[in-house]
């Protein structure tokens, strides 16, 4: 085996190690986050308090633990979905939010809340349907457009579809009871895990778990599907079917977390870039790596949002601030430092 | 090697979760002493002991806070109130000077933040129940939800609150006083010929970028019942519109109604200024409608608040000055705060009465 | 020599269109040896290659491969038989050359599996064959056009097909790389691989191909031995401009006159 081949294998081994380290880091952070909050004081309170203060144990178990679980699972879902969208559309500048998926899911969930009562299951289903319909529409409209390259067409179509569903959402808000569901919707649109509880987690965790597992199982093929349709076909893939299935999984994972945590933008756009930088371009490692990074990121943002001030800073606000800043940083990098090429 | 590491991590996680669940069994059962009452959502709330820390949390906290302060316990206990964003003044420091700064909670305060205060009793407006309420319920703390959206609700819920606070005497006094004032008006109104009743539009006025816009409240809200009890016809009520929110009305609509009287409400600024703007604006002038400012002191009266009775009294007197010639609103305001809120401090009383007078003159 | 592809009456038109881009084309290709697709721009060469690859579906006509109908092969088995070296296309993501070549191993990797060490070694051999193993860890996007084309060729070699389709394989190469690719393709031909390549350079066809297929505006102008194709009048008709063939040091060279 030649020297270069050895160095390739070494690189793969390094990526594996990074993944293991990331898992450990995530577990430790999750554990730590359980003991940070506003009770009994703002900040960290020792686990020893669990023995003397039963209220503390309840706070940890009923308020913090479901939040930590949802933040981790939700962050992984958003990042992995963003990663898959970027690969499948061969476009490093998309995320489900850009293609109207978030707005479609928002409209679906809001409709469920206002017109059909707030059963958690129903909201999930409506959100998923809304997201999928929006995705489908974006794809169709992009094919209709005769302006710009393929990336630009997608982004433009996504803007149109997103705006459409935002308008529909506003209509739903008009019909909502200001003392009931309207407040629910408004809070939820700002994006936050404020309302996390176990009855939500029970639905969200399995759905995201299954979707992410499927995506990870297909990680090699995701690489291939980022090539041109002709090349992917040439190595024997049923391109349309495979892309459809993977987009379905990615969208379901996204809508699952959106339906409980509202609109959380930018995570799906930025984290995959960091993931590819850290773990390489090969989806065999960077898909899982991005999911772990996303989980860590959302956990940090959520813990900060519920600890820094006496009232919650909406999670969507924090992710947008961090995300937008990172976005500018990434785009101002020199071309050879970046991990993707431009050409709109 | 990696597998074994994963296994041991897993075991640690299981042990930790097991330890938590030991403590998740919940707070001790309530004692047999103590009080019990039914709140606005029909929940049975038990209070084991006299509360020494009371928190009124969430949005729209003004209204349950007003209810709480009718009872002497509000002065005795340590009280935390959410801030209100109605901007005519802050009522509570007038009653209890120690309520400032750190005793005011943010409207969005999280459950943890509230728990850190270690309250014995939590009050909230019903609109907060779905989210904050359900979260707090998990901790088996006495949580009393109040609605208080109509004059009937005020009387019933005050009685229940009195039961909870082990002070039914105060509750009954308050209800009796409210009833007395209501009856006094009703007897006079009964003498009016129904065909002579004036039409009234009770509208919220907001001024944005120089334009004045009006909106009316939904059917069944307290503004409608105020107008009816004051012996007038609430002409804006439209049975076919069921949207549960304030709706904007255009000049054309107002002209079509051609009400005899238009009363302007504002929750955040001085309504008199808006009345002047109204008079100054050419469009509205052509209506020939009489326009009044809705009464207020540090809080506007025309809402589902304890002061609704003052709004009623003021409106009745404005519509029928002859029938209520002997009634002095200044005195009514003064006696309201004295009897219902036990305010003895003459400076405070004068402040409130003067604010009222300014709002309508 | 056996027949690889047998094309009968093949026509293609774009969905919704009323005219054929490829019209009733019939010919066959041998299972070893090289066939050149010649024709001016827009004559349908790329479309024909895409039809052979099953990337497009014929409007009418039939394609058989090794005696079996082309559609009857599973995706996996077809990809193990036929590979396409496309015209220059680069991924937007920074895959390395080795990773790119490894993609060619996909037909031998199960749906949920990932490449094995053996796959990596085969990819590595493909890199060596195309003389670009020194570029293994470089980003594809940072290479020159010629190096990128070689990487695409290496990818197809890693796929270990019996038939190699090439879409204008030397168009973006400098003379040195053209020579390299040509000698590699000749070796492959001798090792028994069937080649079908499109080109707009008849001299290249003369040098590499045994047979020629000429397309003009979607119609078959000629198919047969390469020597018969290298004829002044035929070439002039094909390209609608005066062409002349010369024999220099035993090689046929075609130029505009």
Query: Which pLDDT belongs to residue B295?
Result: 84
Of the candidates A79, A130, A64, the residue with the CA atom closest to the CA atom of residue A253: A79
pLDDT tens-digit map of B233-244:
998 888 777 766
For B120, which DSSP code?
Answer: S
Which chains lie within 8 Å of chain C at 3 or more CB pairs, if any? A
* Interatomic CA distance for residues B234 and A199, integer angstroms: 45
Q: Is C233 helix (H, G, I), strand (E, B) or coil?
A: helix
Q: How far is CA C215 from the centre of its chain?
A: 15
- What ipTM was assigned to the predicted interfaces of this complex? 0.92
For residue C36, list its beta bridge partners: C197, C212
Put simply, whether A50 touches B (Cβ < 8 Å) is yes
Strand pairing category for C211-216 and C3-12: unpaired
Distance (Å) from the alpha carbon of A296 to chain B's nearest alpha carbon: 18
Maximum alpha-carbon separation in chain A: 71
pLDDT at B30 over 70: no
Query: Which pLDDT belongs to residue B214?
Result: 84
Q: How far is CA C207 from the centre of its chain?
A: 15
pLDDT tens-digit map of B193-230:
888 889 999 888 887 666 778 888 888 888 888 999 99
pLDDT at B286 over 70: no
Residues 282-321 of B with CB under 8 A from A: none
- Residues of A within 8 A of B112 (CB-CB) are 37-39, 59, 63, 306
- Residues of B within 8 A of A182 (CB-CB) are 245
Tell me the average pLDDT across B147-158. 87
pLDDT category, B25, cuts 50, 70, 90?
A: very low
Put simply, whether A117 touches B (Cβ < 8 Å) is no
Task: Indicate yes or no: CB of C53 within 8 angstroms of CB of A92.
Answer: no
Q: How far is CA C170 from the centre of its chain?
A: 11
- Residues of B within 8 A of A63 (CB-CB) are 111-112, 135, 138
Task: Indicate yes or no: CB of B134 within 8 angstroms of CB of A177.
Answer: no
Instruction: Count the Cβ atoms, other than its own, within 10 Å of residue C125.
Output: 16
Q: How far is CA A57 from the centre of its chain?
A: 30
The CATH architecture annotation of domain A16-331 reads Orthogonal Bundle (1.10)
pLDDT at A223 over 90: yes
Tell me the average pLDDT across B127-151. 87
**From B78-92, B104-118, C49-63, the region with the lowest mean pLDDT:** B78-92
Place of tokens 């040091």: C249
Is A touching B (3+ C-beta pairs, cut-off 8 A)? yes
Instruction: Count the Cβ atoms, other than its own, within 10 Å of residue C85.
Output: 25
pLDDT at B252 over 90: no
pLDDT tens-digit map of B328-338:
988 999 999 99
For A62, which DSSP code?
Answer: I
For residue B254, what are the CA distances in angstroms to B214, B243, B266, C104, C111?
Answer: 9, 19, 18, 75, 70
- Residues of A within 8 A of B127 (CB-CB) are 179-180, 183
In chain A, where the domains are located: 16-331
Task: Indicate yes or no: CB of C86 within 8 angstroms of CB of A237.
Answer: no
The DSSP annotation for A247-312 comes to HHHHHHHHHHHHHHH----SHHHHHHHHHHHHH-S-HHHHHHHHHHHHHHHHHHHHHHHHHSSSBP
Put simply, whether A52 touches B (Cβ < 8 Å) is no
Query: Which pLDDT belongs to residue C73?
Result: 95
pLDDT tens-digit map of A51-108:
888 888 888 988 899 999 999 999 999 999 999 999 998 888 888 877 888 889 889 9
Residues 214-273 of A with CB under 8 A from B: none
Q: What is the pTM of this model?
A: 0.83
Is C touching B (3+ C-beta pairs, cut-off 8 A)? no
pLDDT at B284 over 70: no
Task: Indicate yes or no: CB of A236 within 8 angstroms of CB of C111.
Answer: no
Of the candidates B261, B259, B303, B271, the residue with the CA atom closest to the CA atom of residue B205: B271
Read off the tokens for C206. 């003369």
pLDDT at B29 over 50: no
* Interatomic CA distance for residues B234 and B225, integer angstroms: 8
Put simply, whether A20 touches B (Cβ < 8 Å) is yes
Task: Indicate yes or no: CB of A183 within 8 angstroms of CB of B26.
Answer: no
* Interatomic CA distance for residues A6 and A167, integer angstroms: 56
Nearest residue, CB atoms, A195 vs list B105, B109, B131: B131
Nearest residue, CB atoms, A55 vs list B13, B115, B245: B115
Place of tokens 């929006």: A134
Class of CATH domain C3-256: alpha beta
Q: What percentage of chain A reaches a pLDDT higher than 70?
A: 91
Nearest residue, CB atoms, A224 vs list C106, C121, C133: C106
Chain A to chain C, count of Cβ pairs less than 8 Å apart? 109
Query: Which pLDDT belongs to residue A51?
Result: 85
Q: Search chain A and give the residue with CA nearest B109.
A: A311
Task: Indicate yes or no: CB of C93 within 8 angstroms of CB of A8.
Answer: no
Distance (Å) from the alpha carbon of B243 to chain A's nearest alpha carbon: 7
Contacts of B289 (CB under 8 A, 6+ apart): B254, B258, B259, B260, B261, B262
Instruction: Give the count of alpha carbons within 13 A of B201, CB side only.
Output: 26
- Residues of B within 8 A of A177 (CB-CB) are 244-245
Instruction: Give pLDDT tens digits along chain C (257 positions).
Output: 689 999 999 999 988 888 899 999 999 999 889 999 999 988 899 999 999 999 999 999 999 999 999 999 999 999 999 999 998 887 888 899 999 999 999 999 998 999 999 999 999 999 999 989 899 989 998 888 888 999 999 999 999 999 999 999 998 888 988 988 999 999 999 999 999 999 989 999 999 999 999 999 999 999 999 999 999 999 999 999 999 999 998 889 999 88
pLDDT at B16 over 60: no
Q: Search chain C and give the residue with CA nearest A214.
A: C112
Residues 144-183 of A with CB under 8 A from C: none
Task: Indicate yes or no: CB of A178 within 8 angstroms of CB of B20.
Answer: no
Distance (Å) from the alpha carbon of A245 to chain B's nearest alpha carbon: 31
- Residues of C within 8 A of A237 (CB-CB) are 75, 106
Task: Indicate yes or no: CB of A92 within 8 angstroms of CB of C79.
Answer: no
pLDDT category, B281, cuts 50, 70, 90?
A: confident
Given a contact cutoff of 8 angstroms between Cβ atoms, the answer to whether A269 and A95 are in contact is: yes
**Ramachandran region, residue A11 (left: φ > 0; alpha: ψ -120 to 50; beta: rest):** alpha
For residue B99, what are the CA distances in angstroms to A108, A283, B69, B291, B327?
Answer: 44, 59, 12, 37, 34
Q: How far is CA B23 from the centre of its chain?
A: 38
Chain A to chain B, count of Cβ pairs less than 8 Å apart? 94
pLDDT at A299 over 90: yes
Query: Which pLDDT belongs to residue A260?
Result: 84
Mean pLDDT of chain B: 83
Report long-range pairs for C108-114 (Cβ below 8 Å, ≥24 apart). Answer: C108/C80, C108/C160, C109/A220, C111/A218, C111/A221, C112/A217, C112/A218, C113/A220, C114/A219, C114/A220, C114/A284
pLDDT at A317 over 90: no
Q: Is C22 helix (H, G, I), strand (E, B) or coil?
A: strand
Task: Indicate yes or no: CB of A57 within 8 angstroms of CB of B243.
Answer: no
Task: Indicate yes or no: CB of A59 within 8 angstroms of CB of B244.
Answer: no
Put simply, whether B18 touches A (Cβ < 8 Å) is no
pLDDT tens-digit map of A230-243:
999 999 999 988 98
Place of tokens 């060490």: C117
For residue A125, what are the CA distances in angstroms to A100, A122, A203, A212?
Answer: 17, 5, 11, 18
Between A181 and A79, whose confidence is greater? Answer: A79
pLDDT at B87 over 70: no
Q: What percentage of chain A reaches a pLDDT higher than 90?
A: 40
For residue A181, what are the CA distances in angstroms to A120, A190, A212, B313?
Answer: 14, 15, 31, 34
For residue A306, what are the CA distances in angstroms to A42, A83, A106, A298, A316?
Answer: 10, 27, 23, 12, 12
Task: Indicate yes or no: CB of C137 within 8 angstroms of CB of A7.
Answer: yes
Task: Indicate yes or no: CB of C84 within 8 angstroms of CB of A5.
Answer: no
Strand pairing category for B78-82 and B104-105: parallel
Secondary structure, 3-state, C155-211? HHHHCCCCEEEEECCCCCCCHHHHHHHHHHHHHHHHCCCEEEEEECCHHHHHHHCCE
The DSSP annotation for C26-56 comes to EEEEESSEEEEEE--TTSSHHHHHHHHTTSS
Between C62 and A195, whose confidence is greater? Answer: C62
In chain B, where the domains are located: 35-166, 182-360
Mean pLDDT of chain A: 86
Is C touching A (3+ C-beta pairs, cut-off 8 A)? yes
* Interatomic CA distance for residues B50 and B243, integer angstroms: 42
pLDDT at A125 over 90: no
pLDDT at A204 over 80: yes
- Residues of A within 8 A of B59 (CB-CB) are 183
Q: H or E segment at A118?
A: none
pLDDT category, B174, cuts 50, 70, 90?
A: very high
Query: Which pLDDT belongs to residue A327?
Result: 84
Distance (Å) from the alpha carbon of C119 to chain A's nearest alpha carbon: 12
Distance (Å) from the alpha carbon of A325 to chain C's nearest alpha carbon: 22
pLDDT tens-digit map of B32-66:
468 999 999 999 999 998 999 999 998 888 889 99
The CATH architecture annotation of domain B182-360 reads 3-Layer(aba) Sandwich (3.40)
Nearest residue, CB atoms, A220 vs list C55, C78, C115: C115
Query: Which pLDDT belongs to residue A211?
Result: 96
Class of CATH domain B35-166: alpha beta
Between A203 and A32, whose confidence is greater? Answer: A32
Put simply, whether B110 touches A (Cβ < 8 Å) is yes
For residue B203, list its beta bridge partners: B216, B264
**From A70-74, A182-186, A227-231, A333-337, the region with the lowest mean pLDDT:** A333-337
Distance (Å) from the alpha carbon of A341 to chain C's nearest alpha carbon: 5
Query: Which pLDDT belongs to residue A110?
Result: 87
Distance (Å) from the alpha carbon of C216 to chain A's nearest alpha carbon: 24
pLDDT category, B283, cuts 50, 70, 90?
A: low
Of the candidates A212, A296, A219, A221, the residue with the CA atom closest to the CA atom of residue A256: A212
Mutant choice from A84, A86, A154, A236 vs C, greatest count of C C-beta within 10 A: A236
Q: Is B29 helix (H, G, I), strand (E, B) or coil?
A: coil
* Interatomic CA distance for residues A213 and C49, integer angstroms: 37
Put simply, whether B27 touches A (Cβ < 8 Å) is yes
For B217, which DSSP code?
Answer: P
Nearest residue, CB atoms, A38 vs list B21, B110, B243: B110
Mutant choice from A36, A38, A201, A309 vs B, greatest count of B C-beta within 10 A: A38
């Amino acid at each position: 085996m030649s020297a270069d081949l050895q160095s390739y294998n070494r690189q793969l081994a390094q990526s594996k190690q990074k993944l293991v380290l990331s898992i450990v880091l995530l577990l430790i952070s999750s554990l730590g986050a359980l003991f940070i909050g506003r009770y009994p004081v703002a900040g960290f309170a020792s686990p020893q308090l669990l023995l003397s203060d039963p209220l503390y144990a309840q706070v940890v178990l009923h308020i913090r633990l479901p939040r930590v679980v949802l933040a981790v699972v939700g962050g992984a879902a958003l990042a992995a979905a963003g990663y898959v969208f970027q690969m499948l559309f061969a476009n490093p500048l998309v995320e489900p939010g850009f293609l109207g998926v978030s707005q479609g899911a928002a409209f679906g969930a809001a409709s469920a809340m206002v017109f059909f009562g707030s059963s958690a299951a129903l909201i999930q289903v409506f959100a998923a349907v809304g997201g999928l319909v929006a995705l489908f529409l974006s794809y169709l409209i992009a094919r209709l457009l005769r302006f710009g390259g393929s990336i630009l067409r997608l982004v433009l179509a996504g803007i149109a579809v997103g705006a459409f569903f935002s308008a529909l959402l506003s209509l739903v808000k008009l019909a909502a009871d200001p003392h009931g569901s309207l407040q629910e919707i408004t809070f939820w649109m700002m994006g936050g895990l404020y309302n996390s509880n176990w009855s939500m987690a029970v639905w969200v965790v399995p759905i995201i778990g299954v979707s992410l597992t499927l995506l990870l199982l297909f990680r090699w093929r995701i690489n291939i599907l980022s090539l041109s349709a002709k090349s992917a076909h040439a190595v024997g893939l049923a391109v349309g079917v495979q892309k459809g299935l993977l987009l379905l999984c990615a969208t379901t994972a996204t809508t699952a977390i959106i339906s409980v945590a509202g609109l959380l933008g930018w995570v799906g756009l930025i984290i995959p870039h960091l993931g590819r930088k850290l773990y390489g371009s090969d989806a065999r490692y960077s898909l899982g790596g991005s999911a772990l990074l996303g989980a860590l990121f959302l956990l940090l943002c959520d813990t900060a949002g519920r600890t820094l001030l006496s009232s919650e800073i909406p999670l969507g606000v924090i992710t947008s601030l961090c995300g937008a800043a990172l976005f500018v940083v990434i785009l101002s990098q020199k071309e050879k430092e970046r991990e993707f090429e431009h050409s709109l | 090697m990696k597998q074994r590491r994963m296994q041991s991590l897993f075991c640690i996680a299981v042990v930790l979760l097991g330890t938590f669940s030991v403590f998740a069994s919940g707070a001790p059962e309530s004692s047999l002493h103590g009080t019990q009452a039914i709140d606005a959502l029909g929940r049975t709330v038990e209070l084991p002991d006299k509360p020494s820390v009371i928190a009124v949390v969430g949005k729209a906290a003004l209204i349950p806070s007003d209810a709480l302060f009718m009872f002497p316990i509000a002065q005795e206990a340590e009280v935390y109130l959410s801030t209100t964003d109605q901007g005519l003044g802050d009522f509570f420091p007038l009653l209890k000077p120690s309520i400032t700064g750190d005793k005011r909670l943010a409207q969005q305060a999280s459950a943890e933040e509230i728990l850190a205060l270690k309250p014995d009793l939590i009050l909230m407006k019903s609109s907060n129940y779905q989210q904050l309420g359900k979260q707090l319920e998990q901790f088996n703390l006495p949580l009393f939800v109040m609605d208080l959206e109509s004059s009937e609700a005020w009387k019933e819920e005050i009685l229940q609150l009195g039961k909870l606070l082990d002070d039914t005497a105060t509750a009954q006094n308050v209800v009796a006083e409210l009833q007395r004032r209501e009856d006094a008006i009703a007897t006079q109104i009964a003498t009016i010929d129904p065909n002579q009743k004036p039409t009234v539009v009770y509208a919220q006025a907001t001024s944005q970028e120089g334009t004045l816009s009006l909106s009316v409240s939904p059917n069944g809200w307290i503004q409608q019942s105020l107008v009816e009890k004051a012996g007038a016809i609430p002409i804006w009520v439209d049975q076919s519109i069921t949207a549960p929110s304030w709706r904007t009305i255009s000049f054309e609509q107002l002209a079509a109604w051609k009400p005899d009287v238009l009363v302007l409400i504002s929750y955040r600024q001085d309504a008199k200024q808006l009345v002047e703007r109204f008079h100054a604006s050419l469009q509205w002038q052509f209506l020939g409608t009489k326009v009044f400012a809705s009464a207020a002191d540090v809080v506007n009266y025309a809402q589902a608040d304890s002061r609704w009775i003052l709004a009623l009294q003021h409106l009745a007197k404005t519509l029928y000055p002859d029938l209520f010639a002997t009634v002095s609103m200044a005195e009514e305001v003064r006696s309201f705060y004295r009897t219902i809120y036990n305010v003895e401090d003459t400076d405070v009383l004068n402040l409130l009465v003067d604010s009222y007078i300014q709002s309508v003159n | 020599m056996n027949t690889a592809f047998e094309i009968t009456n093949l026509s293609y038109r774009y969905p919704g269109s009323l005219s054929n881009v490829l019209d009733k084309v019939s010919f066959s290709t041998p299972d070893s040896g090289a066939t050149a697709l010649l024709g001016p721009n827009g004559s349908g060469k790329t479309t024909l290659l895409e039809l052979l690859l099953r990337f497009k579906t014929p409007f009418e006509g039939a394609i058989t491969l090794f005696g079996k109908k082309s559609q009857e092969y599973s995706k996996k088995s077809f990809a193990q038989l036929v590979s396409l070296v496309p015209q220059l296309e680069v991924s937007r993501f920074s895959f390395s050359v080795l990773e790119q070549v490894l993609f060619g191993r996909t037909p031998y990797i199960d749906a949920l599996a990932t490449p094995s060490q053996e796959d990596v070694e085969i990819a590595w051999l493909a890199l060596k064959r195309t003389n670009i193993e020194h570029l293994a860890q470089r980003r594809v996007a940072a290479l020159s056009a010629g190096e990128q084309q070689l990487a695409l060729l290496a990818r197809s070699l890693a796929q270990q097909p019996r038939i190699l389709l090439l879409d204008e394989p030397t168009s973006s190469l400098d003379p040195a790389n053209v020579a390299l690719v040509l000698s590699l393709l000749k070796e492959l031909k001798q090792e028994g691989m069937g080649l079908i390549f499109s080109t707009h350079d008849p001299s290249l066809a003369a040098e590499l191909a045994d047979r020629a297929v000429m397309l003009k505006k979607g119609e078959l102008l000629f198919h047969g031995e390469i020597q018969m194709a290298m004829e002044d009048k035929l070439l002039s008709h094909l390209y609608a401009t005066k062409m002349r063939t010369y024999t220099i040091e035993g090689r046929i060279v075609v130029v505009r006159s």
